[in-house]
Amino acid sequence: MKVEYTVNQERHEATLDVWVEKERLEQAKRRAARKISKDVSIPGFRRGKAPYEIVVRFIGEEAIVHQALDEIADEVYSEAMKQAGLEAEDVATLEKYELTPQGELHLTFSVPLLAEVVLPEDYRQLRIPLIEVEEEEVEKEIEHAQFHFATFEQVDREAQWGDSVDADVSLKGESETLRIYLDPLQKDIQADTQFLHSFIGRKSGEEYEFQTQGGEPLKVKILSVYSTTLPTREELAKILEFSSEEELRQAVRESLQMEARLEHGEEVLEALRTRTRFAYPQSLMERFAARILENKKEEVSEFGLTWEGFLQQAGMTEEEYLEQEVIPSLRRSIEQMLLRREIIQREKIGADLTELEEKIEEVLRDYEEMEDPVRFKKLLKEQEFAENVFRQAGSRLVREKVRLFLSDLASGALERMEQEAAAQASESQQSEQSGEEQVPAVVQANEAAQDQPSTEG
């Protein structure tokens, strides 16, 4: 099989030309003809029994070549890529095929080449401080949990501190119904709490406007006022199955610190991306952009707008929308994806089965919260759903692993852990050597002899 290729450096793609030998093509054509004859009724012959020449005459050689191509294209492509020493980033496209005067089959593939990711040599020296969780954040999280388990009693009076209100809040015509807790701790704090203060002294049915810092007025309509009773810290700890308030606080602190590490890792990933050189197929960008554009068109249609009307309102052409609104964020996403893959390979980041099982349970809980219970039970029985859950769990787990690694790297924690591990290994080695020195020489000699390859016989 003859193979040639040319590389388009700008698009990071290759044009792969393959010539399949006449003999191999003929064998594939005969297999294809047998398959076709089983599916097509040819007068005078039972299905699958018509001679090759009759099938060619009845169906046409082009149809048989097309069927033969379906059978051997993947195999030929794989062999050709190996012969050319190329690796693909994405699915290749068969651009054309033709029969040569010599009876060979000439195939031309467009191949998106494997992406190149060139990290800076000193990427492990990157340092970005990790901000530790403060007790104030722990307090706010516990207060939020208390409100989640609060009891409410509707009252016909003006709202006061410690109450909750249901209100319709509208900005630029978009409305949302919120339940808002008028936290007494915010009573004497004016900065950034003016919105909470605006509810005090108002009753159900009142409407008013609140001027935001951005200058846009919020239209507010109070629907209901509730007397609100929060569980105590001790009661909350029991509800959440903790043995004490301190154990609850520690769990909240650890959860917030994990979130902080994950956010920090994302920040580090982006900082590292801007320092990394990438080369990846343009077709990868085009394929994802086309998918995003199609989803946006569906979204616009759901709001009762035509795509042309949406572009007119935005004051852009479709090309301008792609260049300004889609490509920048898509480029960042693709490069982050490639960077994560490179870091996983370089740093040998892996996960065990227990971690994957925990992440699968997490994904299933998310679906259970979003889906109708009846539909969720049906989904659990579908193979496609199970495969999708497995993929999502794997993707989440890998992303989290990389973010935590990068957080530890940039905060200096990884360097400290590696130094401690090296020191322990050194101590262990010294201890082993010290132990060996105490073994009688004759025993050491016997052990050494046992380790030598045998020369007998």
Residue 167 has pLDDT above 80, yes or no: yes
Q: Whole-number mean pLDDT of the chain?
A: 89
Residue 213 has pLDDT above 90, yes or no: no
Q: Is the model's pTM score more than 0.95?
A: no
Instruction: Work out the pLDDT band at 444, boundaries 50, 70, 90.
Output: very low
Highest CATH level, class, for 2-114: alpha beta
Architecture of domain 150-229: Roll (3.10)
Instruction: Work out the pLDDT band at 192, boundaries 50, 70, 90.
Output: low
Residue 188 has pLDDT above 80, yes or no: no
Percent of the chain with pLDDT over 90: 71
State pLDDT tens for residues 286-344: 999 999 999 999 999 988 889 999 999 999 999 999 999 999 999 999 999 999 999 99
Residue 427 has pLDDT above 80, yes or no: yes
SS (H, E, C) the chain: CEEEEEEECCCCEEEEEEEECHHHHHHHHHHHHHHHHHHCCCCCCCCCCCCHHHHHHHHCHHHHHHHHHHHHHHHHHHHHHHHHCCCECCCCEEEEEEECCCCCEEEEEEEEECCEEECCCCHHHCCCCCCCCCHHHHHHHHHHHHHHCCEEEECCCCCCCCEEEEEEEEECCEEEEEEEECCHHHCCCCCCCHHHHCCCCCCCCCEEEEECCCCCEEEEEEEEEEEEECCCHHHHHHHCCCCCHHHHHHHHHHHHHHHHHHHHHHHHHHHHHCCCEEECCHHHHHHHHHHHHHHHHHHHHHCCCCHHHHHHHHCCCHHHHHHHHHHHHHHHHHHHHHHHHHHHHHHCCCCCHHHHHHHHHHHHHHHHHHCCHHHHHHHHCCHHHHHHHHHHHHHHHHHHHHHHHHHHHHHCHHHHHHHHHHHHHHHHHHHHHHHHHCCCHHHHHHHHHHCCCCCCC
> Domain boundaries in the chain?
2-114, 150-229
Residue 173 has pLDDT above 80, yes or no: no
Instruction: Work out the pLDDT band at 361, boundaries 50, 70, 90.
Output: very high
Residue 442 has pLDDT above 80, yes or no: no
